[in-house]
Amino acid sequence: MKLKISWTVFKAFATNKPWLIAIGISLVGGAFYSIAILLAPISVVQPIVASGIALLAYLAMKNLGERPGKADLYAIGVTVLGVILIGVSLAEGIPPEAEHDPVVLWIFAGVVALVAIIVPFLMRGGGNRQAAGLGISVGLLFGIAAIFARLLLLDWSNQFSARGVSVLFVSIFLIGWALTLIPAFIMLQAALQRGMAVVVVPIVAGLSQLIPILGGMIALNEPFPESGVLTAVRILAFALILGATVVLARTAEESSPATA
């Protein structure tokens, strides 16, 4: 898969002040994200983070002079409602960190990674079909990378007093994080070159939420609330945010100049 990268393109980005500011903001956001996944279950944090696409959709429509349809407004409202419901589901407090089963973790990660490798070959072809296959792989890998990121930070926090920063560089989770995040980023560029973003982004947005939710519960033993009512509220919140994210991702990308 060839990526059209040249020194001219690289220089254009490196000298673009708005882009550099955006990178800086992203780094600050990444720092807050790291704190969040260190303090709370990834299955709770990831949907909340992904709900930020409601702001993306709003800005895309406002800055481009687009009028949101009823479905868009409903999706934004549903996203906000989903985040509120996740907050309600935490009424019992943040659950204590649970010991995960390494065997289950690596089997889960291996199965997801294997699917991510196979799907692009099964969906070979031209245009949006291939882009959709790559998008599926990207979403799966981003989801696994989020799980490894939480485990890496927990590993660091638990051993920092004894081993300091060096624990980051000897943790197996750093390898897992790098081997999933970096290929996912490269494949995302390839997907966006081969097909419409309106096809790729909703797939990536949905799977990058779904995998941490499933992985958090299956591989990391992140518990639901003890209350059946609060458990139902959290499941409903997951469903609302997941569905609304796909709708808003489609709207935001359809409104962008890249797909015009």
The pLDDT score that the predictor gives to residue 215 is: 87
More confident residue, 51 or 112: 112
The pLDDT score that the predictor gives to residue 256 is: 47
Residues 6+ apart with CB under 8 A from 47: 82, 83, 86, 209, 213, 237, 238, 241, 242
Is residue 108 scored above 90 in pLDDT?
yes
What are the start-end ranges of the H helices in the chain?
Answer: 7-14, 17-39, 42-50, 53-63, 70-89, 102-122, 127-163, 167-170, 172-194, 197-218, 228-254
On whether residue 193 sits in a domain, the answer given is yes
Write the DSSP assignment of 202-213 as a string of letters: HHHHHHHHHHHH
On whether residue 33 sits in a domain, the answer given is yes
pLDDT digits (tens, 9 = 90+) for 139-148: 899 989 989 9
On whether residue 208 sits in a domain, the answer given is yes
pLDDT digits (tens, 9 = 90+) for 81-90: 887 888 888 8
The pLDDT score that the predictor gives to residue 232 is: 92
Among positive and negative, which fits the CA dihedral 209, 210, 213, 218? Answer: negative
Q: Give how many domains the chain has, as a whole number.
A: 1
On whether residue 229 sits in a domain, the answer given is yes
Is residue 21 scored above 70 in pLDDT?
yes
Confidence label for 110 from pLDDT (cuts 50, 70 and 90): very high
More confident residue, 194 or 259: 194
On whether residue 1 sits in a domain, the answer given is no
On whether residue 100 sits in a domain, the answer given is yes
Mean pLDDT, the chain, integer: 78
Alpha carbons 143 and 154: distance in angstroms, whole number: 17
Alpha carbons 181 and 188: distance in angstroms, whole number: 10
Number of CB atoms found within 10 A of residue 160's CB = 13
Residues 6+ apart with CB under 8 A from 139: 203, 204, 205, 206, 207, 208, 210, 211
Confidence label for 162 from pLDDT (cuts 50, 70 and 90): low
Most confident of 8-22, 106-120, 190-204: 106-120
SS3 state of residue 1: coil
C-alpha distances (whole Å) from 1 to each of 4, 125, 136, 188, 191 are 10, 12, 16, 11, 10
The pLDDT score that the predictor gives to residue 127 is: 64
pLDDT digits (tens, 9 = 90+) for 33-60: 888 887 888 878 877 777 676 666 666 6
The pLDDT score that the predictor gives to residue 66 is: 55
On whether residue 2 sits in a domain, the answer given is no
The domain in which residue 129 lies consists of: 7-259
In this structure, of 125-129, 138-142, 238-242, 252-256, the range with the lowest mean pLDDT score is: 252-256
pTM of the model: 0.72
C-alpha distances (whole Å) from 215 to each of 64, 141, 150, 196 are 37, 12, 11, 29
On whether residue 238 sits in a domain, the answer given is yes
